[in-house]
Structure 1
Amino acid sequence: MTQTTTPLALPPSSATTEAVGGIRRTADLMCCSFVVQGRAVGEPVPDVDARRVGEVRRVVDARLGCLGLGALRDSVLLVVSELVTNAVEHTADSGGGCVTVTQVSVRGGLRIEVRDEAHGHPQVRAPGLESERGRGLHLVDLVTAELGGRWGHSPGTGTVWCTIPTTIPVTPARP
């Protein structure tokens, strides 16, 4: 089931200064946005918009690697794929608009948010055995629960989110 809550509170700054004058990273933020074209009922999502899912996956994958969170790669990318696919499809159905994906990493957790301009809120469906659609939010629910996290939506904002606890400190990889 989805949960509703307020967004994750972030530290006042993404970097804080230690007493010895060095910089210690306490949070890491990645955000990307794109515009989705509208479509008529029954038409497929335009290819340019469908390709956005893969583009976002590559960006999130790169951030996970930089943060030393590669162990979460497959699970996080599955969740991102499902949430972004839903946002693209429902935004296209609603006449088009902007989709924004945000990844916030703080010590002890990772939060993914996907915000769109579609009408309505996410609903877990009960697809038929032969249905090719309607299982995405079930996957999101299963994967986040397996990792000890949760997911939900923020009412009135068009934002669907998930949080995943991490035991790996958020420290960017050195080149």
Structure 2
Amino acid sequence: MTQMIKQMAASPEAVPPEERLRRTADWWACVIAVEGRSAGEPLSQVDARWVGQVRRIVTARLRLLGLIRLQDDLLLIVSEVMTNAVTHAGYGGPGSVTFVQRLAGGRLRIEVSDTGRGRPEIKAPSTTEESGRGLHLVDNLTDELGGRWGFDPDHRTTWIDLPTAPAAG
């Protein structure tokens, strides 16, 4: 490891980007307080803004890490899981959402947890329903990127795990 650090410091271009990412570790997290509301009541402007704030921070971190190629797809994935979490965290009273982004071993992992009572699930919405397609998008995009996603055993956390190197194919 010391040899790699010395090599990167002396001549960063001599180390392939995939190797740098495989050896890079990065972690960022935030906890968001969500206002309480009744089912069917729209998100407050403050709560709705959190999704955009997290997207902006994820964009900056992807650029910092040299993972700009993941930006468009990952921002859509983050938007979907964050919107679900913020929407459901505040039903019936104040709640919270935790967002974690980690890079280690050449993998980028996103985890979004909320305190809401509902459980995320993939639905089969009719053509007239306005919602229910987000997790289908997450599933398809994650698969296209060569990653995987799912829920923790009690369905409180949605996680996405992506390779930092382009998917073979």
Following superposition, the deviation at residue 122 of structure 1 comes to 1.3
Deviations 1:93-147 (A, max 9, x none): 2422111111001132110000111124210001110111000000000000011
Return the TM-score normalized by structure 1: 0.80
Structure 1: runs of 5 or more not aligned: 1-16, 169-175
Compared CA separation, residues 32 and 137, structure 1 to 2 (3 A):
same
Q: Which runs of structure 2 are paired with 1:13-162 in the superposition (5 Å)?
A: 18-19=2-3, 22=6, 26-156=24-154, 158-162=156-160
The answer to which of 123-132 and 22-31 deviates more is: 22-31
Q: Distance in 2 between matches of 1:155 and 1:20?
A: 38
Give the secondary-structure state (helix, strand or coil) at the position aligned to 1:51. helix
Give the secondary-structure state (helix, strand or coil) at the position aligned to 2:90. helix
- % of aligned pairs identical? 51
> How many matched pairs?
152
Give the ranges of 4+ consecutive aligned residues of structure 1 lying more than 2 Å apart after TM superposition: 19-26
CA contact (8 A) 2:82 2:112 kept: yes
The answer to which of 52-61 and 32-41 deviates more is: 32-41
Give the secondary-structure state (helix, strand or coil) at the position aligned to 1:126. coil
2:150 is equivalent to residue 166 of structure 1: no
Q: Distance in 1 between matches of 2:91 and 2:5?
A: 52
Relative contact order, CA 8 A, sep 6+: which one is greater? 1
In our comparison, the structure showing a higher alpha carbon Rg is: 2
Return the TM-score normalized by structure 2: 0.83
CA contact (8 A) 2:119 2:155 kept: no
Higher helix share: 2
CA contact (8 A) 1:34 1:99 kept: yes
Structure 2: runs of 5 or more not aligned: 10-19
Q: CA RMSD in A?
A: 1.9
Compared CA separation, residues 21 and 39, structure 1 to 2 (3 A):
closer
